[in-house]
Amino acid sequence: MIARYCLALLSLVLFSAGLSALPLDKGPVLIRITPQVMEPDHTVSWKDDLDSKTLPGHAVVVSIEANHVTILVSVTPYVLPDGYLLVVQGDVRQSGPEGLRRSSSVQSLQVKPRQAIVFFPLGRADPASREMEVLISVENGGD
Amino acid sequence: MKDSERMIVSAWTDGEVELPWSSLVSAKVEQNPEWSETARQHNRVKQLLVNDGEPDWTAAQSRVWDHLAAQNPVRPFVAHLPWSWISVAAAALLVVAAGGGYWFGRVSVVKTGPQMAELKVHVPQQLELKLSGDGQLIMASTLQGAGP
């Protein structure tokens, strides 16, 4: 009878230890997101620096409101042995005389800590047009 | 006494016989001892049904429970365990519960804290932007290498 209770207690302890070993418990990561508007002459006409801590597997969402355009950028980090896998989702809604246009995309890149990637949520315009760029990097967020 | 006569007496006892027949039956009951006895029996049964209701089973239930308790004494399971073991088990459960609470609470705080709220920024109105195609994700080093 006693052995049965000891076994039950041991199972509970092991269960708790198993939960702690999940990737979610690897600690927070810091995601730096910088949306900016790039002019055709490569000057930056507007930018905003955003930092956000999150857990691996949990997304950070940035909503960028512009004139007639709403951009949602979702960045989800996953921890790899030698860096991170960043899954970036873009959802764009543009309203105008032609009605509502919408574009969605999901892409991923494997990066090293603090290695920057660039997301073009509106696509790559021709060189004579203004562009929206979102610079993204990820690093250890500490405890 | 015929069965039909018994039925008449029963109906008269229940007040189901109307005038002028009820007065005739009433006179017959007063005069005939057999009809009188039949009416008395019906009235007795009627009174039992109306007044007595369900018998009081409390005493019988008590006796049955006492009998069962004497044959199979019920003892709480905890009474078999020494107090030291109960204390150890309670402490272990407390540790597990506290650990679980800390783990879930930690995840919850990071997940729902202010830093996880949707970040909102506004581009100045004069900067017109338009959708040119599907989103593209590239390494920043590639972009810098392709620059002018």
A-chain residues within 8 Å CB-CB of B147? 42
Contact A136, A75 (CB under 8 A): yes
Exposure letters A45-83 (e unless 16+ CB within 10 A, then b) = ebebebebbbbbebbbbbebebeebebbbbbbbbbeeee
Distance CA A32, CA A134 (A): 10
Question: Are A105 and B135 a contacting pair at CB < 8 A?
Answer: yes
Interface test with B, best of A25, A117, A129, A138 (most B CBs within 10 A): A117
pLDDT class of B73 with cuts at 50, 70, 90? low
What is the average pLDDT across A27-32? 92
Rounded Cα gap, residues B135 and A106, in angstroms? 8
Q: What is the ipTM of this complex?
A: 0.75
- pLDDT tier for residue A63 given thresholds of 50, 70 and 90: very high
Query: What average pLDDT does this structure show over A87-110?
Result: 91
Q: What angle do CA B89, B94, B95 make, to 5 degrees?
A: 100
A26, closest residue in chain B (CA to CA): B107
> For residue B110, what is the nearest residue in chain A, using CA coordinates?
A54
Cα–chain-centroid distance for residue B5?
Answer: 53
State the burial class of residue B103 (Cβ atoms within 10 Å of its Cβ: 0-12, 13-18, 19+): middle
Query: What's the alpha-carbon Rg for chain B, to the nearest Å?
Result: 46
HSE-CB of A116 using CA atoms within 13 angstroms = 13
Task: Determine the pLDDT at residue B143.
Answer: 73
Task: Confirm whether pTM is higher than 0.80.
Answer: no
pLDDT digits (tens, 9 = 90+) for A124-143: 877 788 899 999 999 988 76
Element housing B115 (H / E): none
pLDDT for residue B79: 63
The minimum CA-CA distance between B106 and chain A, rounded to whole Å, is 9
- Provide the β-strand partners of residue B40: none
Instruction: Determine the average pLDDT of the residues in A26-33.
Output: 89
Q: What is the pLDDT of residues A32-55, one digit of tens each?
A: 999 999 998 989 999 999 999 998
Cis amide leading into B20 (omega within 30): yes
Quick: pLDDT tens for B115-141.
Answer: 455 889 999 988 988 888 888 999 988
Across the interface, do B116 and A116 touch by the CB < 8 Å criterion? no
Q: Which of A16, A65, A124 sits opposite B123 (nearest CB)?
A: A65
Q: In angstroms, rounded to a whole number, what is the distance separating the alpha carbons of residues A17 and B89?
A: 18
Question: Coil, strand or helix: which one is A116?
Answer: coil
Count how many domains chain A has: 1
- For residue B126, the chain A residue with the least C-alpha distance is A67
CA distance B138 to B17: 104
Contact A123 B131 (CB under 8 A): yes
Contact B137 A55 (CB under 8 A): no
Whether residue A2 has pLDDT greater than 80: no
Locus of tokens 């039925």:
B7
Q: Work out whether strand A44-47 and strand A50-54 pair parallel, antiparallel, or are unpaired.
A: unpaired
| A19 phi/psi in degrees, rounded to 5 | -60, -40
Q: What residues make up the domain containing A86?
A: 2-140
